[in-house]
Chain A
């Protein structure tokens, strides 16, 4: 097992304060190419990625995203494409769709971390306001932003954990005892 992979997983943290340093197009392409390798239910690939670098568009997005604390130089918006759902008769309530968002999001954040960039996911925003600002096609449902940038020198501390947890607290081995 590769230590590099495990170290990358363990050391990634959500970064909520980013510097002005830009992210290059090449770095963004590396991240997006990594996202393509995330597992996808039925290999259907229902996600479309929208990359936003334009400063004014980013400013407006942040204004309708109360959960976006970062001033990130690049945003990747993960959208579910309804056309893929219709094509494969998937109801929008199919849980695999949101699981796809999760596998892609984590892949993006680990890829960013792997090339020395900071990232932070944001789901606290108004979908309708984002739709209007980005002129999103009706078939796109905006599910999650990933802010990409560089960690600021003095960053706020992360969200304090509700309680200390280890993987053991989260894991149960084998069958539960009979009732």
Chain B
């Protein structure tokens, strides 16, 4: 377990602005923009907490900042996009395990 504080209030409000405005504009935009907005939020959050995060997450966060902008520009290649998102899902699961007590026991 890691109980570091990694997000400042200003940063949290910025993230809220992105999430709330994304929810609104999504009503008027194509459905496939939904993942794009969530990825943008993930990239921003990763960048915000990178410096203060522990070694358990830092590589994962750094990779997000670098890969996500590339990934979401490729959304028209549906198979490659899905594969890229699957890779991110595997890495987030590995990161979760590093933060969980399950991993500590092994």
Contacts and interface: CB of A to CB of B under 8 A. Distances in A.
Interface of A: 63-67, 69, 124-126, 128-129, 156-163
Interface stretch (B1-9, B13-21, B55-63, B93-101): B13-21
Interface string B68-106: 011001111100000000000000000000000000000
Contact of B70 (A66, A129, A157): A157
Contacts of B24: 126, 128
Interface of B: 14, 17-18, 20-22, 24-25, 29, 33, 37, 40, 69-70, 73-77
Nearest to A63: B17
B73 A64 contact: no
Contacts of A162: 76
A67 B76 CA distance: 17
Contacts, number: 45
B46 to A, nearest CB: 15
Contacts of A126: 20-21, 24-25
Given A126-B24, A129-B17, A129-B21, A66 B40 contact: yes
Given A126-B24, A156-B69, A66 B37 contact: yes
B23 to A, nearest CB: 9
A65 B73 contact: no
Contacts of A163: 76
A124 B29 contact: yes
Contacts of B76: 159-163
Contact of A156 (B14, B33, B40, B70): B70
Contact of B25 (A67, A156, A158): A67
Given A159-B76, A160-B74, A69 B69 contact: yes
A32 to B, nearest CB: 27
B68 to A, nearest CB: 10
Contacts of A128: 24
B73 A66 contact: no
Nearest to A128: B24
Given A63-B21, A64-B17, A66-B21, 20 more contacts: A63-B14, A63-B17, A63-B18, A66-B22, A66-B37, A66-B40, A69-B40, A124-B25, A125-B25, A126-B21, A126-B25, A129-B17, A129-B21, A156-B70, A156-B73, A158-B73, A159-B76, A160-B74, A160-B75, A160-B76
Contacts of B77: 160
A66 B69 contact: no
Contact of A160 (B25, B69, B73): B73
